[in-house]
Amino acid sequence: MAKVFVITGPSGVGKGTLIKELLQRVPDLELSVSATTRQPREGEVDGRDYHFLSAAQFDRRIDDEDFLEFATYSGNLYGTMRTEVERRLAEGHSVVLEIEVQGARQVRAAMRESVQVFIAPPDPSVLRERLDSRGTDAPHAIDARLEVASQEMAAQDEFAYRVVNDDLEHASDELERIVRAELGLSDG
Ligand code: ADP
Ligand code: 5GP
């Protein structure tokens, strides 16, 4: 049975890194491409990393009820289009959503069977270090993300699973184990 996996956690914790590894390790998993009003970062490609929309385009899609969930995060809108998820499930693929906490709650309410995983840092201080080392966000944007992070950390007990991303290999193993167990797959 194809399932929806929601991966959430504060910015800089390593969600994108862990998901990239997960997609290589587990067959038949596909990442949903979100829509956002955020400006593309250097190297990001429209349709691959995000569907980059204007605020007006995003608002029209909200009115048309195109979104399974959407939320404002650090001044921009982000959302999962229903078609991204439904098409993949219909084809028999499980779907991974990399989304923030408010969106994760909306998916939980809409799809009680979704599998919800919170990725936590070994210590909150690593978030700034990782965002600095990633080098994709200006200092003021990093500050804004860290402010949101403290609220997100307070929500972690809502999630069925929690993976601490300390050692990357160890965290990847744990996430893979959770996903394989939920899909009834043998260990890789
Ligand atoms: P997120 O998607 O949660 O914002 P990223 O996956 O972009 O986070 O990771 C943020 C930065 O931290 C990246 O530069 C990434 O290479 C690094 N990173 C991810 N996991 C670890 C880890 N376990 N130890 C050290 N650095 C990590
Ligand atoms: P970033 O700007 O770093 O790509 O993403 C910022 C935050 O938005 C991250 O926590 C990311 O997981 C979240 N995000 C990305 N896509 C979506 C989405 O479709 N919906 C929601 N609610 N959050 C998203």
Q: How many residues does the chain have?
A: 188
- Show the tokens assigned to 63: 């009115």
Average pLDDT of the chain, as a whole number: 97
Q: Where are the beta strands (DSSP E) in the chain?
A: 4-8, 29-31, 35-36, 51-52, 67-73, 76-81, 94-98, 115-120, 161-164
Is the minimum distance from the CB of 94 to ligand 2 under 6 angstroms?
no
Q: What is the pLDDT of residue 187?
A: 82
Task: Say how many C-beta atoms besides its own lie within 10 A of residue 10's C-beta.
Answer: 26
Q: Give nearest CA residue, ligand 2 atom 7.
A: 100
By percentage, how much of the chain surpasses pLDDT 70? Answer: 100
Kindly tell me if the per-residue pLDDT of 104 is higher than 80. yes
State which of 44, 99, 130 you would mutate to test the pocket of ligand 1, scoring each by most atoms of that ligand within 8 A of its C-beta. 130
Cα distances (Å, whole numbers) of residue 116 to 26, 51, 106, 129, 158? 17, 23, 11, 26, 9
Please give the distance, rounded to the nearest whole angstrom, from the Cα atom of residue 76 to the centre of ligand 2: 9
pLDDT mean over 115-136: 97
Kindly tell me if the per-residue pLDDT of 186 is higher than 90. no
Please give the distance, rounded to the nearest whole angstrom, from the Cα atom of residue 71 to the centre of ligand 2: 9
By percentage, how much of the chain surpasses pLDDT 90? Answer: 98
Is the minimum distance from the CB of 84 to ligand 2 under 6 angstroms?
no
Tell me how far apart the alpha carbons of residues 180 and 117 are, in angstroms, rounded to a whole number. Answer: 13
pLDDT mean over 141-165: 97
| Atom of ligand 1 minimally distant from the CA of 134 | 14
Q: CA-based diameter of the chain, in Å?
A: 46
- Residues 6 or more apart in contact with residue 156 via CB below 8 angstroms: 9, 118, 120, 162
- Residues 6 or more apart in contact with residue 5 via CB below 8 angstroms: 29, 94, 95, 96, 97, 114, 115, 117, 179, 182
Please give the distance, rounded to the nearest whole angstrom, from the Cα atom of residue 56 to the centre of ligand 1: 32
Kindly tell me if the per-residue pLDDT of 188 is higher than 80. no
